[in-house]
Amino acid sequence: MTISDYINEQDEAIRPRLLLVYDTIRTAIPDAEECISWQMPTFRKGRNIIHFAAYKKHIGIYPGSEMVEEFADKLNGYKTGKGAIQFPHDQDIPLDLIAEIAKRSYENIATQ
């Protein structure tokens, strides 16, 4: 399964939002490999960098707990958990923030 397959299998109303997230991350970290890991679209470079997934009420991105902590001040108003950030479907998606998190996650992996 590819990321495009994953997106195409989702509810028609959610697909455009997923495509925005996918394109944002792909543009932010173009050297990353794309795959499905943990049943989610994933970008990796030797190891997983960031995942995203569709849910009934939100799109989740999963950059890991270090990134959630690092960007905590910019994530006010969004539900977060251990390594997870939720962007509700009834709100605009902060694409610039997602790009920034993806780039920083990539840099973090590259320096380890």
pLDDT band at 111 (very low <50, low <70, confident <90, very high): confident
pLDDT band at 109 (very low <50, low <70, confident <90, very high): confident
Domain holding 66: CATH number? 3.90.1150.200
Closest CA to 34 of 71, 69, 7, 70: 7
Residue 46 is given by DSSP the state S
- Please state the domain count of the chain: 1
Structural domain containing residue 44 = 3-110
pLDDT tens, residue by residue, 53-101: 999 999 999 999 999 999 999 999 999 999 999 999 999 999 999 999 9
Closest CA to 50 of 101, 7, 4, 1: 101
pLDDT tens, residue by residue, 6-64: 999 999 999 999 999 999 999 999 999 999 999 999 999 999 999 999 999 999 999 99
* Beta-sheet pairing, 40-44 with 48-54: antiparallel
What's this model's pTM, rounded to 2 decimal places?
Answer: 0.94
pLDDT at 112 over 70: no
